[in-house]
Amino acid sequence: MADTDRRLTHLDPHGQARMVDVAGKPVTEREAVATCEVRMSPTTAGLLLAGDLPKGDALPVARIAGIQGAKRTHELIPLCHQLALTGVEVRIDVDTDKGVATVTATARATDRTGVEMEAMTAASVAALTLYDLVKAVQRDVVIDRLRLTQKRGGRSGEVSLP
């Protein structure tokens, strides 16, 4: 990597934080996928999957919360650009034997900058919502392994991450 590629893009020449100007970047289709795990007891996972929690059916609420989180990423993460999202999907797979709910969030936009932060915000807000809705039956739930797993579009093309 050349030294010019190592400059800090979110700092101005005086070392002050700034939002990167993306006006010169081409508009391309972009997509990012993030995952997160919510660990709980198998009994709690069974209640979650059945929609039998004291606070009601948590899965649709968590999906909507994740979508809403993606839409508000620019308000939550300093220096993030506001994007015109073209789609956000949040899937939650519950493994009752292991006591794990895996949240997978996909964000899409046709824009000048990536949607990684939107996908990761969607996954984390959905996981936080699950935590909130299951804590009535279990307090020691753990949110774990938030990570970007895939991105497509822009300068780097398609990237799959472990």
Per-residue pLDDT tens for 98-114? 999 999 999 999 999 98
Q: Domain for residue 159, yes or no?
A: no
Instruction: Answer whether residue 56 is part of any domain.
Output: yes
Residue 17 forms part of a structural domain:
no
94 belongs to a structural domain? yes
Residues with Cβ within 8 Å of 111's Cβ and at least 6 positions away in sequence, in order, are 27, 28, 30, 81, 83, 84
Does residue 4 belong to any structural domain of this protein?
no
What pLDDT is stored for residue 6 in this prediction?
57
> Cβ–Cβ contacts within 10 Å for residue 15, how many?
7
Q: Does pLDDT of 18 surpass 80?
A: no
pLDDT tens profile 59-98: 999 999 999 999 999 999 988 999 999 999 999 999 999 9
Domain of 32?
Answer: 27-153
Determine whether 5 is an active site residue: no
Give me the number of domains the chain comprises: 1
Give a yes or no: residue 6 inside a domain: no
CATH (domain of 46): 3.30.70.640
The residue whose two tokens read 């519950």 is: 94
Of 5, 57, 111, 132, the active-site residue reads 132
Q: What pTM was computed for the model? A: 0.89
Nearest to 150 by CA among 103, 117, 116: 116
Question: What is the distance between the alpha carbons of residues 50 and 41, in angstroms, rounded to a whole number?
Answer: 14
**Residue 104 falls inside a structural domain:** yes
User: Is 31 domain-assigned?
Assistant: yes
